[in-house]
Amino acid sequence: MTDRVDTYAQSLLAIARSEGHLDEVEDELFRFARIVEGNDELRMALADRTLPAERRMAIVEELLSGRALPTTAAIASFLVGIGRGHDLPAIVQRFVELAAAQREHEVAEVRSAVPLDEGQQRRLAEALGRATGKRIEVKVVVDPAVLGGLVARIGDTVIDGTVRHRLEQLKERI
């Protein structure tokens, strides 16, 4: 399974690079995969092999039409069409990791209650880089469940700076 995910991710990387839109495709696929992960109904529909491939692909095209590059829509539609809807988040995650590795960076998936602007993302990448000793790229996932603060995941390392986590720590001390 991991070999298959890696093979698809490497293929996506080659396609996005050859189209000259690697950064945009990477960002759009990352956001789309997070939407799929966060919506049970959508995730089940895209992975449902009893639905005709054309219908699953039409769902993707409807969601991404006008919101993403044609390359991004074609890649996502292709993966769903060949029955890889259930693997889409894993394939995209590996694709993002490979793209970052080419730039000699690691990816930090940051969950925040609100979107972060470019300046905030840059400062956060610098701070995480100092904390980990690595060159970091920040990918932000807006998650309303995060009431305040941030949660950053870099590989297996999780840095929890949420208000909820801090309150739990305070509660333990008391």
Neighbours of 151 (CB within 10 A): 19
d(CA 16, CA 2): 21
Tell whether the model's pLDDT for residue 93 goes beyond 80.
Answer: yes
Q: Among residues 16, 146, 4, 23, which one has the least CA distance to residue 88? A: 4
Please, which residues bridge with residue 136 across strands? 106
**pLDDT tens digits, 57-78:** 999 999 999 999 999 999 999 9
Q: 147 and 154 in contact (C-beta within 8 Å)?
A: no
Residues 137-146, mean pLDDT to the nearest whole number: 88
Please check whether the domain covering 2-98 is classified as CATH 2.40.160. no
Q: Distance from CA of residue 128 to its chain's centroid?
A: 18
**pLDDT tens digits, 4-45:** 999 999 999 999 999 999 999 999 999 999 999 989 999 999
DSSP of the chain, one letter per residue?
Answer: -HHHHHHHHHHHHHHHHHHT-HHHHHHHHHHHHHHHHH-HHHHHHHH-TTS-HHHHHHHHHHHHTTTS-HHHHHHHHHHHHTT-GGGHHHHHHHHHHHHHHHTT-EEEEEEESS---HHHHHHHHHHHHHHHTS-EEEEEEE-TT--SSEEEEETTEEEE--HHHHHHHHHHH-
Q: What are phi and psi of 126, to 5 degrees?
A: -65, -45
Residues 67-96, mean pLDDT to the nearest whole number: 94
Q: What are phi and psi of 140, to 5 degrees?
A: -95, 135
Q: 113 and 151 in contact (C-beta within 8 Å)?
A: no
Query: What is the pTM for the complete model shown?
Result: 0.77
Domain positions in the chain are: 2-98, 105-173
Tell whether the model's pLDDT for residue 164 goes beyond 90.
Answer: no
